[in-house]
């Protein structure tokens, strides 16, 4: 019985080739997108679940101060005072910075440095591969490296016992090689240093003359510990000895990844809103493809009304028809699922690039994911086979056999589905166009300084001959101008407040030399640039700073940062961007660095002359080599540096762009199927119209008219939604371009063109048919 149905279903597919190809490919694409999104969501939700006992691992933080960097000394207290705590480890991470590592002649840069103790391995079971002693950290100077990092820094050597220098000032020896961190861990590192050694801690906080090393604290609790009760107990104890801590709360390890980052967080963080965006875009595409499939399948049923009538007369019950419909839909859907799996495998590397994740095909076999996908498939099969049958069983049997175009015009439900398809496509298109417009605006906007032909060299920590280095570069023909500074547009990490004046304004602070403004081409609004006598005692502020200080005039004002003797304000620059367009320009202050304190100025900005870039780079490398023979030249271009700031936005644009192209294709196929069915249903009507003198163009116009109404309706529906979504996204930019009605009009126009083209192409056949053939039909 069922075999019989399946045989017939396959025969049916072969007979209606156009329908089959359109519906199956459409659904395959939709389902492939669905698989990708499912995998992505699975990845995001299973973060940190690779650690056994993850349910009992928590991080301590202070919710009042929104801070999770707490005194390292707490570790001892955690271990001794609370029986609920099985293990505790202090952990400080440096995860967003390139760090140099040296051993003998070998040199490399890496990201991911952790300062911790042997307790780490109690909390996070990362296996030790080989070690000198019993424990991974043996001795104050001990440093651990991961297996893959060992292969880079010590190719073909045994790293154990070798000396290693991190950052120029952390000098130790490798005491153990450990496994790489699991990919789904939000803690990632290549090098671990021993936090027992105060010199191996990465930062220090001071308050009221008391200083401490801030650390993240991870705890493993006894099973069934009441988190809230424990946190309450800690809040009662800890602030007594640590006045900087107000309250204590515990955050689950698995919650860290998708939560808004707490200050002092070093874990990799995901992005909850990005997750929702991907999820909803994926759902939209899936729904569109289901609508598409349903549209095709229902219209196929309409062409087979007679067949259904015959079956009913021959004794087919509703159940029989449903079973056949199920078989038919299952065959199509299962073929689609198979194709989508192939598509998935083909595009997986591309998707990984887009998502910046390491999704693996084998995850599909994990029970959680597999069952979800099977459930979705079954649900889709049921929806698609029940809907058309319930529509069709409404009709009277004898009308199946006589009136051939039953329900040809009364398909409001299906038209509504089409309306949704149109609207979704328009929204996606409008969003993509707006995204692109804003990103291109952000990339090409005037930053207040000239970022073209501008190169940045980063000198290593500990380098001392800045002036000689600058002099050497100045002499090169490639150099139009060169400047030393601490902090440059794109990366300023120093904030200073004015201790003396009435208002506290935090200023982004740069130490610069006298050539800075000339090299960067930052325009002065008033005042003057630095003169030789200004060095060490003058500063220049930006307009925003003057605005925030509410100064009528900068003349005679001083900036007292409390460290040096204060700086006389000698000029005001135009506002220029230090950060991306996402953030508003902040008040900034350029301090004239004292001539004897150039050691801190590790950024060398060089304005290049027009010329052969690779030759210029070679010349620069030669100079670098004479000063810093051990390290390769570290450099970047300003324009690239600023473009990188919009990578996330661009990736989002790319993802939505792909989704909108798929949506457009699906919609296109949907219209094709509908027009096909309509022209089939109305062959006779078209024939009659032609016999009565209708021209081909009249018939095309007549066929188009019906769809145009729906397109216009969908535009009206889509535009408010698109405007809402775009404005939501634009909120993340402090500086934004006007999107303008043209963008929306363009999205609508594309939809309109697609529809008109499809309808015209498809109905051309029906319109040019000889009416005699059409009317002979029964």
**In the complex, which residues of this chain contact another protein (CB under 8 A)?**
1, 4, 8, 11-12, 15, 306-307, 309-318, 320, 396-398, 401, 778
Beta bridge partners of 589: 509, 541
Q: What is the Cα Rg of the chain in Å? A: 34
What percent of the chain is helix, strand and coil (3-state, nearest 5)? 50, 15, 30
Distance (Å, whole) CA 184 – CA 42: 11
Question: Residue 40 has which token pair?
Answer: 């992505």
Closest distance of CB 9 from another protein, Å: 10
Distance (Å, whole) CA 226 – CA 212: 29
Q: Give the E-state strand segments of 401-537 in sequence order.
A: 454-458, 479-486, 495-497, 506-512, 524-527
Closest distance of CB 751 from another protein, Å: 36
Q: How many other C-beta atoms lie within 10 A of the C-beta of residue 420? A: 18
Q: Which is nearer to another protein, 388 or 490 (CB)?
A: 388
DSSP 419-440: HHHHHHHHHHHHHHHHHHHHHH
Closest distance of CB 51 from another protein, Å: 57
Q: Between vectors from CA 643 to CA 640 and to CA 649, what angle results, nearest 5°?
A: 155
Question: Do residues 675 and 759 make contact, with C-beta atoms less than 8 angstroms apart?
Answer: yes
Closest distance of CB 392 from another protein, Å: 13
Residues with Cβ within 8 Å of residue 528, at least 6 apart in sequence: 570, 571
Q: Which is nearer to another protein, 8 or 339 (CB)?
A: 8
Beta bridge partners of 416: none
Task: Write down the residue that tokens 């996606």 correspond to.
Answer: 428
Question: Residue 364 has which token pair?
Answer: 């599909």
| Beta-strand relationship, 538-542 and 567-573 | parallel
Closest distance of CB 401 from another protein, Å: 7
Closest distance of CB 351 from another protein, Å: 40
Q: Which is nearer to another protein, 255 or 307 (CB)?
A: 307
Q: Which is nearer to another protein, 321 or 373 (CB)?
A: 321
Closest distance of CB 397 from another protein, Å: 5
User: Can you tell me whether residue 176 is helix, strand or coil?
Assistant: strand
Closest distance of CB 297 from another protein, Å: 16
Closest CA to 748 of 430, 433, 431, 417: 430
Beta bridge partners of 116: 91, 194
Q: Which is nearer to another protein, 309 or 448 (CB)?
A: 309
Q: Which is nearer to another protein, 45 or 310 (CB)?
A: 310
Closest CA to 572 of 420, 448, 412, 398: 448
Closest distance of CB 293 from another protein, Å: 20
Closest distance of CB 403 from another protein, Å: 13
Closest CA to 193 of 175, 215, 217: 175
Closest distance of CB 318 from another protein, Å: 7
Closest distance of CB 11 from another protein, Å: 5
DSSP 720-736: HHHHHHHHHHHTT-SS-
Distance (Å, whole) CA 462 – CA 359: 41
User: Can you tell me whether residue 745 is helix, strand or coil?
Assistant: helix
Q: Which is nearer to another protein, 1 or 552 (CB)?
A: 1
Closest distance of CB 404 from another protein, Å: 11
Q: Which is nearer to another protein, 318 or 741 (CB)?
A: 318
Closest distance of CB 2 from another protein, Å: 11
Q: Which is nearer to another protein, 112 or 309 (CB)?
A: 309
Q: Which is nearer to another protein, 316 or 694 (CB)?
A: 316
Question: Residue 299 has which token pair?
Answer: 């219209």
Q: Which is nearer to another protein, 307 or 640 (CB)?
A: 307
Closest CA to 217 of 69, 318, 98: 69
Q: Which is nearer to another protein, 3 or 206 (CB)?
A: 3
Closest distance of CB 314 from another protein, Å: 4
Closest distance of CB 24 from another protein, Å: 18
Question: What's the distance, Cα to Cα, between the start and end of the chain in Å?
Answer: 33
The length of the chain, given as a count of residues: 778
Question: Do residues 490 and 642 make contact, with C-beta atoms less than 8 angstroms apart?
Answer: yes
Q: Which is nearer to another protein, 324 or 422 (CB)?
A: 324
Closest distance of CB 673 from another protein, Å: 19
Closest distance of CB 398 from another protein, Å: 4
Q: Which is nearer to another protein, 313 or 383 (CB)?
A: 313
The distance between the two most distant Cα atoms of the chain, rounded to a whole number of Å, is 106
Closest CA to 62 of 185, 268, 257, 242: 242
Question: Residue 407 has which token pair?
Answer: 């329900």
Q: Which is nearer to another protein, 731 or 778 (CB)?
A: 778
Distance (Å, whole) CA 68 – CA 214: 9
Q: Which is nearer to another protein, 398 or 727 (CB)?
A: 398
Closest CA to 41 of 398, 229, 349, 283: 283
Question: Residue 64 has which token pair?
Answer: 């009042």
Question: Do residues 213 and 204 make contact, with C-beta atoms less than 8 angstroms apart?
Answer: yes
Distance (Å, whole) CA 742 – CA 20: 38
DSSP 228-264: HHHHHHHHHHGGGT-TT----EEEEHHHHTTSPPPBT
Q: Which is nearer to another protein, 304 or 443 (CB)?
A: 304
Closest CA to 108 of 117, 100, 116: 100
Q: Which is nearer to another protein, 402 or 491 (CB)?
A: 402
């Amino acid at each position: 019985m069922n075999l019989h149905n399946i045989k017939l279903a396959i025969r049916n597919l072969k007979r209606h080739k156009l329908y089959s190809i359109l519906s199956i490919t459409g659904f395959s694409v939709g389902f492939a997108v669905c698989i990708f999104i499912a995998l992505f969501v699975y990845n995001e939700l299973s973060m940190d679940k690779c650690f056994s006992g993850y349910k009992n691992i928590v991080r301590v933080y202070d919710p009042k101060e929104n801070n999770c960097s707490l005194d390292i000394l707490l570790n001892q207290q955690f271990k001794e005072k609370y029986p609920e705590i099985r293990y505790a480890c202090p952990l400080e991470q440096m995860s967003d910075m390139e760090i140099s590592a040296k051993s003998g002649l070998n040199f490399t840069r890496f990201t991911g440095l952790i300062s911790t103790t042997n307790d780490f391995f109690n909390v996070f079971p990362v296996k030790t591969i080989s070690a000198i002693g019993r424990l991974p950290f043996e001795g104050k100077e001990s440093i651990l490296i991961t297996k893959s990092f060992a292969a880079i820094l010590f190719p073909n050597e045994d790293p154990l016992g070798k000396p290693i220098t991190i950052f120029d000032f952390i000098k130790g020896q490798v005491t153990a090689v450990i496994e790489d961190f699991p990919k789904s861990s939000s803690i990632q590192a290549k090098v671990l240093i021993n936090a027992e050694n105060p010199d191996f801690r990465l930062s220090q906080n001071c308050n009221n003359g008391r200083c401490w090393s801030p650390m993240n604290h991870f705890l493993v609790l006894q099973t069934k510990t009441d988190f809230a009760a424990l946190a309450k107990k800690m809040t009662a104890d800890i602030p007594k000895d640590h006045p900087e801590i107000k309250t204590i709360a515990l955050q689950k390890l698995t919650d860290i990844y998708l939560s808004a980052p707490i200050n002092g967080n070093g874990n990799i963080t995901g992005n909850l809103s990005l997750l929702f965006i991907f999820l909803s875009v994926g759902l939209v595409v899936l729904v569109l493809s289901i609508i598409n499939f349903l549209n095709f399948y229902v219209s196929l049923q309409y062409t087979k009304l007679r067949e259904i009538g015959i079956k009913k007369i021959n004794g087919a019950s509703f159940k029989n028809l449903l079973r056949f419909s199920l078989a038919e839909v299952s065959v199509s859907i299962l073929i689609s699922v198979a194709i989508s799996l192939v598509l998935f495998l083909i595009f997986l590397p591309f998707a990984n690039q887009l998502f910046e994740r390491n999704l693996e095909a084998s995850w599909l076999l994990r029970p959680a994911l597999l069952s979800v996908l099977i459930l979705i498939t079954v649900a889709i099969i049921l929806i698609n086979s029940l809907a058309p049958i319930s529509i069709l069983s409404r009709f009277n049997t004898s009308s199946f056999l006589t009136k051939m175009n039953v329900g040809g015009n009364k398909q409001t439900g299906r038209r509504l589905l089409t309306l949704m398809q149109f609207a979704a496509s328009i929204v996606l298109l409008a969003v993509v166009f707006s995204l692109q417009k804003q990103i291109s605006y952000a990339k090409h906007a005037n930053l207040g300084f000239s970022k073209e032909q501008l190169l940045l060299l980063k000198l290593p920590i500990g380098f001392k001959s800045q002036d000689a280095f600058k002099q050497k570069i100045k002499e090169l023909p490639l150099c139009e101008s060169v400047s030393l500074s601490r902090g440059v547009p794109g990366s300023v990490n120093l904030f200073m407040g004015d201790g003396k004046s009435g208002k506290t304004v935090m200023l982004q602070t740069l130490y610069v030399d006298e050539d800075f403004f000339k090299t960067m081409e930052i325009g002065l609004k008033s005042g003057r640039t630095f003169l030789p006598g200004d060095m060490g005692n003058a500063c220049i502020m930006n307009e925003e700073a003057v605005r925030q200080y509410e100064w009528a005039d900068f003349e005679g004002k001083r900036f007292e940062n409390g460290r040096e003797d204060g700086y006389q304000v000698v000029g005001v620059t135009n506002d220029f961007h230090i950060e991306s367009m996402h953030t508003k320009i902040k008040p900034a202050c350029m301090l004239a660095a004292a001539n004897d304190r150039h050691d801190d100025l590790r950024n060398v900005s060089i304005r290049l002359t027009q010329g052969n870039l690779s030759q210029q780079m070679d010349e620069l490398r030669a100079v670098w080599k004479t000063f810093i023979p051990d390290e390769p030249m570290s450099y970047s271009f300003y324009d690239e540096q600023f473009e990188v700031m919009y990578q996330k936005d661009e990736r989002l644009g790319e993802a939505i762009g792909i989704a909108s192209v798929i949506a457009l294709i699906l919609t296109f196929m949907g219209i094709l199927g509908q027009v096909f069915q309509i022209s089939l249903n109305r062959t006779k009507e078209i024939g009659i119209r032609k016999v009565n003198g209708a021209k081909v163009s009249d018939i095309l116009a007549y066929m188009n008219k019906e769809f145009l109404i729906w397109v216009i309706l969908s535009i009206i529906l889509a535009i408010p939604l698109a405007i809402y979504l775009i404005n939501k996204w634009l909120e993340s930019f402090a500086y934004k371009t006007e999107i303008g009605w043209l963008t929306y009009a363009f999205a609508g126009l594309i939809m309109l063109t697609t529809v008109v083209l499809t309808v015209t192409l498809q109905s051309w056949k029906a319109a040019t048919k000889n009416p005699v053939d059409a009317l002979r039909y029964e």
